[in-house]
Amino acid sequence: MPHLTLRSFGAMKTAKENAMDEDLRAHTAHRAAMQEKAAADMAAIGIDADFLALMVETFYGRIQADPILGPVFEARLAGRWPEHLERMKMFWQSVALRNGVYSGRPVPAHLKVGGLNEPLFTNWLALFGQTLDDICPTPEARNFLMATAERIAQSLILSIFHNPAVRPPV
């Protein structure tokens, strides 16, 4: 077994650090390529950050006016609508454009909503679909966003209402 000196140990550490740096550079390049591809794919069907901002503003404006959903959202977001809208814009950018600007925890956030029940998700999806029908630039954009919203709603429903770790069975 070769004798390790402080100098040879330092050289091994540098080689390991160099390998880690190379892995980090490769990961960063891969992530940038994936973001670029997602942005290009979405742009091809008419989805970009500006459209997503319009979608969020239009949809949540309709939520606020909705007689069923409005009071539930207002009870949670009174005085905080601008922050919520910005958060939702970041969320949808992260979902559609894969840019990673959103870092939140939707399940715990929704657990804090008083009056939330499973049928409200049906209303939410219906209003979301109507909004997409009115403003989406292409059928492909509508299909992508609606399918995504349906998956998100299903995930929240399962996590909030059908997860024994969160809510014990009745």
Counting Cα atoms < 13 Å in the Cβ hemisphere of 65 gives 7
pLDDT for the residue numbered 125: 98
Closest CA to 126 of 144, 149, 158, 103: 149
Q: Of 9-13, 21-25, 58-62, 111-115, where does mean pLDDT reach its minimum?
A: 9-13
The b/e string for 37-47 (b: 16+ C-beta within 10 A; e otherwise) is: ebbeebeebeb
Q: What is the mean pLDDT of the chain?
A: 89
Q: For residue 169, is pLDDT > 80?
A: no
- Tell whether domain 46-161 is in CATH 2.60.40.1180: no
pLDDT for the residue numbered 13: 66
> Do 76 and 113 form a contact (C-beta atoms < 8 A)?
yes
The answer to whether the pTM exceeds 0.85 is no
Strand extents, DSSP E, 5-75? none
Residue extents of the structural domains in the chain = 1-44, 46-161
pLDDT tens-digit map of 91-105:
999 999 999 999 889
What does the CA dihedral 50, 104, 68, 165 come to, rounded to 10 degrees?
Answer: 150
pLDDT for the residue numbered 1: 58
pLDDT tens-digit map of 108-166:
888 888 889 999 999 999 999 999 999 999 999 999 999 999 999 999 999 998 877 76
Q: Which two tokens stand for residue 136?
A: 């989406």
**Which residue in the block uniquely carries the two structure tokens 């970041």?**
90
pLDDT for the residue numbered 92: 97
